[in-house]
Amino acid sequence: MPDYESHEHDVLVIGAGGAGLRAAIEASAAGVRVGLVCKSLLGKAHTVMAEGGIAAALANVDERDSWKVHFSDTMRGGQYVNNWRMAELHAKEAPDRVRELEAWGAVFDRTPDGRILQRNFGGHKYPRLAHVGDRTGLEMIRTLQDHGVHKGMDVFMEHTVVTLLKDGQRVVGVLAYERERGRFKLFRAKAVVLATGGIGRAFKITSNSWEYTGDGHSLAYDAGAELIDMEFVQFHPTGMVWPPSVMGILVTEGVRGEGGILLNKEGKRFMFAEIPDNYKEQTADNEEEGWRYTQGDKDARRPPELLTRDHVARCIVREIKAGRGSPHGGVFLDIAWIHKRIPNAAEHIKRKLPSMYHQFKQLAGIDITREPMEIGPTTHYVMGGVRVDSDTQMSRIPGLFACGECASGINGANRLGGNSLSDLLVFGKRAGEYAAKFAKEQKPGAIDGAQLEAAERHALAPFERGGQGEAPYAIQHDLQAMMQDLVGIVRREDEMQRALTGLQSLWQRAAKAGVTGNREYNPGWHTALDLSNLLTVSEAVVRSAIDRKESRGAQFRDDFPDKDPAFGNVNTVVWKGPDGAMQLRREPIPAMREELKKVIEEMK
Ligand SMILES: Cc1cc2nc3c(=O)[nH]c(=O)nc-3n(C[C@H](O)[C@H](O)[C@H](O)COP(=O)(O)OP(=O)(O)OC[C@H]3O[C@@H](n4cnc5c(N)ncnc54)[C@H](O)[C@@H]3O)c2cc1C
């Protein structure tokens, strides 16, 4: 057996974003030894970028809000293919998780009477997002880190996990490499929690950071877990489109929550043109009412800019395709117009949206208090992920748990903004709790030297091929371009079949990728290792999207533009077959409990 530096824990958490930190805190509180491994520095996880807020039915701003409204908003937004039990737990537990965060030191924006302030966001019936300006993720990470480090967990920064190790069916540890020196390390654990985030880097235009290469999805898949709903990739309607160097960077939905409107090049507010039937009752049919809603008028209905992200993104694409887009291929998002409605509008915008003000000023030379922004859709979030038990977050592999963006279920076909940060807290806590419970019931498993050797051989193969092999960046670039063009917001069978063929050739090229230099901070090597993760998740997206022959939520099929009731009650499941090929099946969603059906009926 190779002789690595090794560490032993009861629970090993992979990922130090909101989900991983919350899981690690809970497992530590249960009295077990906890290790936390992350690919970047502590504090740099993607969660730190979250802007708009955390969705929780605290009912601080509108007393009509409750877990029932939040539950039915989440199910409606997800077009009813969500795991309803997860949506129920999430809606019920999110308020406690937010209050707990406050008790641990998070300084939220306040209502005049000192309670946590909540803002409007797309698809949420009432103002529901607890926030800290537009820097909520930073406050969340800071608070969880401060709380977590005092719990005594061991933190391993800049370590990338490359494989999960198994003893029979059970997961018993991981092999990781230290990015700084390139050395391998063995982590033994009785339970492993994946909290590795999303897959946005499989696409060319994305709001996601370099870390989002689908590692957790792919590690779980290779270890025998199932992935579900991978066809549902969220394209956020508002990313920056200009200059090219910043294309894809997110423009928070908070801009629309504060009254921002979408305009085409003719200056027309185009979102009123098409309001989906299931939202007609809840949506304003005139500009005056929409404005009153954003200003807190409880009798007004939401403006159509605050419809769900899938719908808003498609309307933007429609305008661009019809030749009514902005000069750089997007449309306009205007918050400056509110100076017609309120005094001191510029100060108000800077106070409510400080990051957006600086982002546009510094990156695009635009003053958003005076001019409209140019925006267009950007790959933002993946609803699909590791299939887990709704209550415990354990996958079908004993000892392997998943939470946060790399797990799936709660969001169905489309996630509502703000529901990710609350998901991290609710299901991060649950994953930590049940992983600790599982670990307490187990003896340490045996580590198989052959698995370690195979993983090391695979990881070092790009060095063997050296300069003779193809540069990994070229392969990554071609994959991203192909996914963007052929499997993006608008999908067709023929294009996706071309993507499937393209993936076969990319797999072959990845197997021949080569890198030069040594193992210390070698980004070429890191990219070469990311490739198989990116290819696995891309293949899962393409196969699942081909199979779902309908349009629902984030999946829009040009060749099947309507919802098909036959798909309204199924999840798409993929897993690795015995021969290594990806398998797929449709699985019926279990019938919802009667009392929850009633809740949805009541809230219609
Ligand atoms: C710009 C932006 C704004 C957003 N705003 C909001 C918002 O306002 N509200 C909301 O609800 N959602 C928002 N989201 C979505 C939300 O931020 C994410 O879905 C969420 O933060 C994901 O958290 P996580 O804990 O699952 O993963 P992350 O925070 O991404 O953490 C992943 C961790 O896994 C580690 N990791 C990954 N792979 C490996 C590996 N192989 N080995 C070791 N470690 C690994 C990483 O280093 C990192 O520590 C936003 C997203 C973006 C991009």
Please tell me the predicted confidence (pLDDT) of residue 192: 98
- Strand ranges in 226-364 using DSSP code E only, listed in sequence order: 227-228, 233-240, 261-263, 331-334
Using a 6 Å cutoff on CB, does residue 262 contact ligand 1?
no
Residues 392-413, mean pLDDT to the nearest whole number: 98
pLDDT digits (tens, 9 = 90+) for 203-256: 999 999 999 999 999 999 999 999 999 999 999 999 999 999 999 999 998 899
Pair of tokens at residue 170: 């059970």
Kind of pairing between the strands at 400-402 and 170-178: unpaired
Question: Residue 309 and residue 78: Cα distance in Å, rounded?
Answer: 11
Show the 3-state SS of 264-277.
CCCCCCHHHHCCCH
| Per-residue confidence band for 134, with pLDDT thresholds at 50, 70 and 90 | confident
pLDDT digits (tens, 9 = 90+) for 306-335: 998 889 999 999 999 899 999 999 999 999
Atom of ligand 1 nearest to the CA of 209: 53
Q: Which of 12, 37, 47 to mutate to test the pocket of ligand 1 (most atoms within 8 A of CB)?
A: 47
| Per-residue confidence band for 133, with pLDDT thresholds at 50, 70 and 90 | confident
Let me know: does 230 contact 372? Beta carbons within 8 Å: no
How many Å lie between the centroid of ligand 1 and the Cα of residue 443? 32
Closest CA to 127 of 42, 211, 40, 61: 61
Let me know: does 148 contact 21? Beta carbons within 8 Å: yes
Using a 6 Å cutoff on CB, does residue 49 contact ligand 1?
yes
Pair of tokens at residue 179: 């990015």
Let me know: does 11 contact 435? Beta carbons within 8 Å: yes
As a whole number, the mean pLDDT across the chain is: 96
Question: Residue 372 and residue 87: Cα distance in Å, rounded?
Answer: 36
Question: Residue 291 and residue 338: Cα distance in Å, rounded?
Answer: 9
| Per-residue confidence band for 604, with pLDDT thresholds at 50, 70 and 90 | confident
pLDDT digits (tens, 9 = 90+) for 435-447: 999 999 999 999 9
Half-sphere exposure of 147 (CA within 13 A, CB side): 23
Using a 6 Å cutoff on CB, does residue 242 contact ligand 1?
no
- Percent of the chain past pLDDT 70, that is, above it, reads 100
Please tell me the predicted confidence (pLDDT) of residue 83: 98
* 528-552 CB burial, b ≥16 within 10 A, e <16: bbbbbbbbbbbbbbbbbbbbbebbb
Closest CA to 557 of 402, 413, 454: 413
Please tell me the predicted confidence (pLDDT) of residue 1: 75
* In the predicted structure, residue 51 carries a pLDDT above the cut 90: no
Let me know: does 130 contact 117? Beta carbons within 8 Å: yes
Atom of ligand 1 nearest to the CA of 200: 53
Show the 3-state SS of 420-465.
HHHHHHHHHHHHHHHHHHHHHCCCCCCCCHHHHHHHHHHHHHHHHH
How many Å lie between the centroid of ligand 1 and the Cα of residue 48? 8
Contacts of 394 (CB under 8 A, 6+ apart): 388, 400, 401, 434, 435, 438
The SS3 assignment for 191 reads strand
Pair of tokens at residue 283: 């949506």
Please tell me the predicted confidence (pLDDT) of residue 65: 97
The residue type of 487 is: V
Question: Residue 45 and residue 50: Cα distance in Å, rounded?
Answer: 10
Residues 46-59, mean pLDDT to the nearest whole number: 95
Closest CA to 529 of 161, 15, 38: 161
Question: Residue 93 and residue 82: Cα distance in Å, rounded?
Answer: 17
Contacts of 211 (CB under 8 A, 6+ apart): 39, 40, 45, 46, 197
Let me know: does 94 contact 70? Beta carbons within 8 Å: yes
Closest protein CA for atom 5 of ligand 1? 50
Question: Residue 21 and residue 151: Cα distance in Å, rounded?
Answer: 11
Strand partners, 159: 178
pLDDT digits (tens, 9 = 90+) for 328-352: 999 999 999 999 999 999 999 999 9
Please tell me the predicted confidence (pLDDT) of residue 10: 98
Please tell me the predicted confidence (pLDDT) of residue 3: 85
How many Å lie between the centroid of ligand 1 and the Cα of residue 267? 36
CA-to-CA separations, 131 to 9, 42, 140, 584, 599, in angstroms, rounded:
35, 22, 10, 40, 27
Q: Which of 98, 196, 375 to mutate to test the pocket of ligand 1 (most atoms within 8 A of CB)?
A: 196
Using a 6 Å cutoff on CB, does residue 53 contact ligand 1?
yes
Closest protein CA for atom 3 of ligand 1? 50
- Expressed in angstroms, the distance from the first to the final Cα of the chain is 61
Using a 6 Å cutoff on CB, does residue 381 contact ligand 1?
yes
Using a 6 Å cutoff on CB, does residue 428 contact ligand 1?
no
Using a 6 Å cutoff on CB, does residue 211 contact ligand 1?
yes
Question: Residue 429 and residue 565: Cα distance in Å, rounded?
Answer: 35
Residues 133-161, mean pLDDT to the nearest whole number: 95
Catalytic (active-site) positions? 236, 256
Using a 6 Å cutoff on CB, does residue 40 contact ligand 1?
yes
Cis peptide before 398 (omega within 30 of 0): no
Let me know: does 337 contact 373? Beta carbons within 8 Å: no
| Per-residue confidence band for 588, with pLDDT thresholds at 50, 70 and 90 | very high
Question: Residue 281 and residue 290: Cα distance in Å, rounded?
Answer: 13
| Per-residue confidence band for 259, with pLDDT thresholds at 50, 70 and 90 | very high
Using a 6 Å cutoff on CB, does residue 195 contact ligand 1?
yes
Kind of pairing between the strands at 159-167 and 407-408: unpaired
Atom of ligand 1 nearest to the CA of 18: 25
Please tell me the predicted confidence (pLDDT) of residue 308: 87
pTM recorded for the entire structure: 0.95
Question: Residue 96 and residue 90: Cα distance in Å, rounded?
Answer: 10
* In the predicted structure, residue 2 carries a pLDDT above the cut 90: no
Contacts of 396 (CB under 8 A, 6+ apart): 224, 225, 226, 387
How many Å lie between the centroid of ligand 1 and the Cα of residue 333? 25
Pair of tokens at residue 361: 């000023």
Helix (H) or strand (E) holding 27: helix 18-29
Please tell me the predicted confidence (pLDDT) of residue 603: 87
Tokens 């393209």, located at residue = 502
Q: Would the CA dihedral through 409, 410, 414, 417 be positive or negative?
A: negative
Residues 137-156, mean pLDDT to the nearest whole number: 95
pLDDT digits (tens, 9 = 90+) for 536-560: 999 999 999 999 999 999 999 999 9
Closest protein CA for atom 44 of ligand 1? 38
